[in-house]
């Protein structure tokens, strides 16, 4: 494969990631609505710990486990931020 071929594959994967990140955010918003209705907090450290552990167990590399956790921390932080924004918009 050429560099251009590889870059096209990366671009395709980036588009897939974008779609997946937004699907995940949609689910997080739905969970946020349920949490709000049940009076549960947005932040669930036990759940996040389980996610990180599962991702490390499933990680085939080449990214090391610390890198995977950092990536998922960011994804989860953004989902949590979105939940808070939507919750505050619905309160006004």
Q: What is the pLDDT of residues 38-51, one digit of tens each?
A: 999 888 999 999 99
How far, in Å, are 6, 7, 14, 17, 18 from residue 11 at the CA level?
A: 9, 6, 5, 10, 10
Kindly tell me the sign of the dihedral angle through the C-alpha atoms of 58, 59, 65, 69.
negative
Looking at residue 60, what is its pLDDT?
98
CA pair distance 72, 57, nearest whole angstrom: 14
* Counted domains in the chain: 1
Hey, what are 19's tokens?
Answer: 């779609």
pLDDT band at 91 (very low <50, low <70, confident <90, very high): low
Contact 55, 69 (CB under 8 A): yes
Q: What is the CATH number of the domain that holds 29?
A: 1.20.59.10
Helices 45-58 and 65-91 meet at what angle, rounded to 10? 150
Looking at residue 88, what is its pLDDT?
75
CA pair distance 65, 16, nearest whole angstrom: 22
Host domain of residue 80 = 3-91
Average pLDDT over residues 8-35: 95
């Amino acid at each position: 494969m050429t560099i251009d071929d590889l870059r096209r594959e990366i671009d395709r994967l980036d588009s897939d990631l974008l779609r997946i990140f937004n699907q995940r955010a949609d689910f997080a918003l739905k969970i946020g609505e349920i949490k709000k209705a049940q009076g549960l907090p947005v932040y669930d450290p036990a759940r996040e710990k389980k996610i990180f552990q599962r991702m490390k167990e499933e990680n085939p590399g080449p990214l090391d486990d610390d890198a995977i956790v950092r990536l998922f921390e960011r994804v989860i932080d953004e989902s949590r931020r979105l939940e808070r924004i939507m919750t505050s918009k619905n309160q006004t």
